[in-house]
Amino acid sequence: MPRLERIWIKRRRRAPTVDVPRATLIAGSGIDGNADRGGRRQVTILSAERWAEIMAELGANIDPLVRRANLLVSEIDLAESRGRILRVGCCVLRVRGETRPCERMDEALPGLREAMRARWGGGVFAEVVTGGGIAAGDPVEWAG
């Protein structure tokens, strides 16, 4: 069953991301307490399976926390999902596009940035349509 595996928050720009067991999504803003809020890129989402594929390709095993995304989901294919609606627990997110990996990925692991470019390996960014509380373990599904 597709689910929310992990939640990460950055308290300020360029700060490390930290695991949290639960968070509050705010409609039109993003994650309460996260440094990056507002605009079209309110929440970033990474696929656990796609991350595992990239790690296998590179012969590595680093924590997906280094991606600096906000949500890690499992059993949901994020590729080519622009415009789709994703339900995370009681919240509704609209995927706005692909999150392109930056040079910081190569600082974590040489070659990671290039490997993430294929098949939306960097995940997606979304806007919060309906906010509320989320927690690791919440169900995740595509609407429609």
Please state the rounded mean pLDDT for residues 56-83. 95
What is the SS3 assignment for 72?
A: strand
- CA–CA gap between residue 115 and residue 58 (Å, rounded): 8
pLDDT at site 144: 78
Q: How many domains does the chain have?
A: 1
Residue 77: pLDDT over 90: yes
Query: What pTM was computed for the model?
Result: 0.94
Separation of alpha carbons 132 and 94, rounded Å: 15
The secondary structure of residue 139, as a DSSP letter, is: B
Give me the pLDDT at residue 108, please. 87
**CATH code where residue 33 lies:** 2.40.33.20
pLDDT band at 38 (very low <50, low <70, confident <90, very high): confident
Question: Whose CA is closest to 96, among 107, 75, 80, 82?
Answer: 82
In the prediction, which pLDDT does 107 show? 84
Range of the domain at 35: 3-142
- The one-character DSSP state at 73 is E
> Can you tell me the mean pLDDT for 23-48?
92
